[in-house]
Amino acid sequence: MSLSNDSLIALLADAYGARADLLARLHAESTDAYRLFHGSVEGESGLTVDRYGELLLVQSFHRSLDEAGLEAIAAFYDSHIPGLKLVYNDRSAKNSRIGNTLPPDAMTIATTSVVVQEMGVKYQVQGRHAGQDPWLFLDLRAARRRVMAEAAGKSLLNVFAYTCGVGVAAAKAGAGFVVNVDFSETALKIGKGNATLNELPQRLRFIKSDAFAAMRQYSGIGQPERVRGKPMPPFPKLEQRAFDLVFMDPPRYARSPFGVVDLINDYPALFKPALLCTAEGGSLFCCNNVAQVEGEAWLDQLDRSAKKAGRPIREAEWIAPETDFPSHDGKHPLKMLLLRV
């Protein structure tokens, strides 16, 4: 670490104190999953500390933590939130892959699923698993909160659903019909488990599909089985349907035979079919997690794309991450928009 342990603990204490009001509110609404230290803004770039229920997840992305530093972090949080089980992931290697081994007892804790709560909704989380991303993105809480406020009695299409947190939250808030679309069977399996945890009155749909193929069919554009004379990979056949709410949180970049996801250079390629899946008078939630994309320029791009598609944006609302993800200038890497169309 670049800091002395005393200096690091002082930063952790400042961050914890700055969250006092937020944590009181979160605990009051049955939330026990949040970021405790956001190092890129709070003084130690590359270090994050997250609480997921009974887990204290410590991750270092730029430099490895030495044993003394890790023990200091553990002692600090044990004095403030006793009883948490620490999992440390050293992700300072290439591509942020986890590089450190853990003793058997610690590895058992890291690879055992725990149940966390957010606004009364239950989710499964593991400190370590086959993938890289956490099963519940904490900075997306503000968007899940906004979806829950909109969802009662409405239909929702959750594209790039991953572990289906948005879809499960919407169903918990009273959505009448929820469809989760993702290409990963593993992620959808976790999503199904999340739905079961919450004993929902309605049955959610989980569709393993490329996002482009699903959105083109729901929007009425259609997905041909052959493109330029070549057969497309198999995809589920879906009937055209408009949704009251559409939620889209795509990865930075991905390529498939159905299309290219490129949040820097071609967000409209995703935006148009998502827009056409949204009912007249409905709402489209769009996320962009690329820090170098400037928010207002992105919104202007979406506005032009919507007008070109004949479905202009009536109203745009920015959704900022909650204060466990502070920002020096208010320009968060994760940009979230609620668009009334």
What pLDDT is attached to residue 3?
A: 80
The percentage of the chain sitting over the pLDDT mark of 70, rounded to a whole number, equals 99
Average of pLDDT values for 278-283? 98
Distance CA 44, CA 74 (A): 16
Give me the residues paired with residue 285 across strands.
247, 338
Average of pLDDT values for 118-122? 97
Residue 22 or residue 96, greater confidence: 22
Distance CA 116, CA 152 (A): 23
Domain annotation for the chain: domains and CATH numbers = 5-111 (3.30.750.80), 138-340 (3.40.50.150)
Question: Would you say residue 2 has pLDDT above 70?
Answer: no
Task: Show the CA angle centred on residue 286, arms to residues 306 and 174, nearest 5°.
Answer: 115
Task: Show the CA angle centred on residue 195, arms to residues 33 and 322, nearest 5°.
Answer: 30
Question: Would you say residue 201 has pLDDT above 50?
Answer: yes
Q: What are 28-48's pLDDT values in tens digits?
A: 999 999 999 999 999 999 999
Q: What are 66-104's pLDDT values in tens digits?
A: 999 999 999 999 999 999 999 999 999 988 999 999 999
What pLDDT is attached to residue 95?
A: 87
The answer to whether the CB of 246 falls within 8 A of the CB of 338 is no
Average pLDDT, the chain: 96
Average of pLDDT values for 281-292? 97
What pLDDT is attached to residue 34?
A: 98
* The CA-based dihedral angle spanning residues 323, 327, 331, 336, taken in that order and rounded to the nearest 10 degrees: -30
Q: What are 174-198's pLDDT values in tens digits?
A: 999 999 999 999 999 999 999 999 9
Distance CA 340, CA 315 (A): 5
Task: Show the CA angle centred on residue 288, arms to residues 297 and 258, nearest 5°.
Answer: 110
Question: Would you say residue 1 has pLDDT above 50?
Answer: no
Question: Would you say residue 165 has pLDDT above 80?
Answer: yes
The answer to whether the CB of 49 falls within 8 A of the CB of 77 is yes
Report residue 152's pLDDT band, with 50, 70 and 90 as the boundaries: very high
